[in-house]
Amino acid sequence: MKGRFVVIVLDGFGMGAMDDAHVVRPGDEKASTLGSILRDEPDMRLPVLERLGLMNAFGHECAMMKASSDANWGRGALMHFGADTFMGHQEIMGTLPRKPDVHPFQEKVDAVDAHLRANGHRTRIVEREGLRYVVVDDYVTVADNLEADLGMCYNVTAPLDFIDFDKEVEIAQLVRQVVTVGRVIVFGGRGNTMDDLYRAEQVKEGRFIGIASAASKSYEKDYHCLHLGYGVDRNVQAPTILTKAGIPVVLIGKVADIVANDGGVSISCVPTAECLEHTIDSFDGMQDGFICTNVQETDLAGHSQSSREYRHVLEIADEGIGRLLEHFTPDDILVVMADHGNDPDIGHSRHTREYVPLLVYREGVHGKRLGVRRTLSDVGASVCDYFDAPHPQNGTSFLPDLGLR
């Protein structure tokens, strides 16, 4: 099939707690990101998303927005453990999620230290308050991530004036070989020193020790970052599959930072209006191809626990999606979805484990119900199916449900 397939991920835009939230994410049982926003901002209008079936997917109408009989809609369930942007996007692209372990870096210090030394690196152990972390080749720290759910990620941090980022990544890849947490996050910037990293050292809950990212000054100049996921293989994901088949791929926004796209174009940006402008420009610049855009500011509004800010971002996104649709031809497909929830009223600033909307637009296709999809990978599978490319590792195409197969 020829045409353009666009996926827009409204990061953190959930539709209500998943059935397993009480087991996987205790405390999220009453989460509903859209429900909280509508309660706090009852006069919010999102006319484009409404037309695409937002209220159909939500399962409730409100005073300002109604269900759409013409919409093609469903809901997506998270197959990955927890509620994670990185793993959510790997799942969207067709990865079969593996359940990671959750534990403090203390349980892996000796194994990481030994593996690094066995591979020719110099290491030393730093101990504070009875907790330990590893310093590698004088300029790289390996320790707990203190910003995500504790025990889910480890950070590899370095001042890049003293060691190349590529060398830091090599160290992180060795760490990834021996740890089973969800992510190893390797990052650094210029203009800071090891003293800055040591001053950013923090202990949480008496079990976790790490370098606080914001305090490390890594973000201030020439910031570099790479996420290494547990069980993630780029070769079984839609971007790699498509580029090997000669199909153009463009990733925009945060997805450009966290999904491998060696053969395509990746555009990092955060402002919602800018992300959607890049989307429209990329769309107009190709006859056939796949575009995935992450709107990160929705998630940031959830983290700040502000329904008002969430509304503001959604209104910008709604307007931008409407302008994008003006460029569509009968061969093009749009999917609007999310990767997890981020309920601004839940009482904490973490992600929430929620079903997500699955809104699909194709000219001439109306009123199709896609049901509750068991994995976000159904999107990646549908993208590959649309281009007659090999199937990704995970997921089932919903093109037959749209009458397109």
pLDDT (average), residues 11-38: 96
Instruction: Look at residue 394 and tell me whether its pLDDT is greater than 80.
Output: yes
Predicted confidence band at 147 (pLDDT cuts at 50, 70, 90)?
Answer: confident
**For 155-171, how does the pLDDT look when each residue is reduced to its tens digit (9 = 90+)?**
999 999 999 999 999 99
Rounded to 5°, the CA angle 37-43-49 comes to 70
Instruction: Look at residue 90 and tell me whether its pLDDT is greater than 70.
Output: yes
pLDDT (average), residues 39-47: 98
pLDDT (average), residues 240-267: 96
Which segments of 157-268 does DSSP mark as H helices, in order?
A: 165-178, 194-199, 238-244, 255-258
Ordered by where they begin, the domains of the chain are: 4-98+233-402 (3.40.720.10), 105-229 (no CATH)
pLDDT (average), residues 319-336: 98
- Say what the pLDDT of residue 81 is: 87
**For 103-133, how does the pLDDT look when each residue is reduced to its tens digit (9 = 90+)?**
999 999 999 999 999 999 999 999 999 999 9
Instruction: Look at residue 405 and tell me whether its pLDDT is greater than 90.
Output: no
Predicted confidence band at 189 (pLDDT cuts at 50, 70, 90)?
Answer: very high
The DSSP secondary structure of 112-141, one letter per residue, reads HHHHHHHTT--EEEEEETTEEEEEETTTEE
CA dist list (Å): 347 to 5, 14, 248, 339, 352: 37, 16, 42, 20, 11
Q: What is residue 229's three-state secondary structure?
A: strand
- Say what the pLDDT of residue 1 is: 61
Instruction: Look at residue 272 and tell me whether its pLDDT is greater than 90.
Output: yes
Residue whose entry in the numeric block shows the structure tokens 């907790």: 131
pLDDT, mean over the chain: 96
**66: left (phi > 0), else alpha (psi -120 to 50), else beta?**
beta
Predicted confidence band at 349 (pLDDT cuts at 50, 70, 90)?
Answer: confident
What's this model's pTM, rounded to 2 decimal places?
0.87
CA dist list (Å): 216 to 143, 192, 344, 387: 13, 8, 28, 44
- Say what the pLDDT of residue 148 is: 79
Rounded to whole angstroms, the Cα distance separating 104 from 112 reads 13
Nearest alpha-carbon partner for 288 in 232, 244, 242, 248: 248
